[in-house]
Amino acid sequence: MGNPTHTQIALVTGAAQGLGQHIAQRLHAAGFKVAISDIDGEAAQRAARALDASGGTAMAVSLDVAHRTDFEAALAAVVDRWGELQVLVNNAAVTRATPVMEIDLQEFNEVVGINLGGTFAGCQVIGGYMAGQGYGRIINMASLAGQNGGTSTGAHYAASKGGILTLTKVFAKELASRGVTVNAIAPGPIDSPMVKALVPEERLPTLLSAIPAGQLGDADFIGDMVVQLARPEAYFATGTTWDINGGLFMR
Q: Is 135 a catalytic residue?
A: no
Please state, in angstroms and rounded to a whole number, the distance separating the CA atoms of residues 24 and 36: 7
Catalytic member of 129, 135, 157, 235: 157
CA angle 75, 77, 79 (to 5 degrees): 65
Catalytically active residues, by annotation = 157
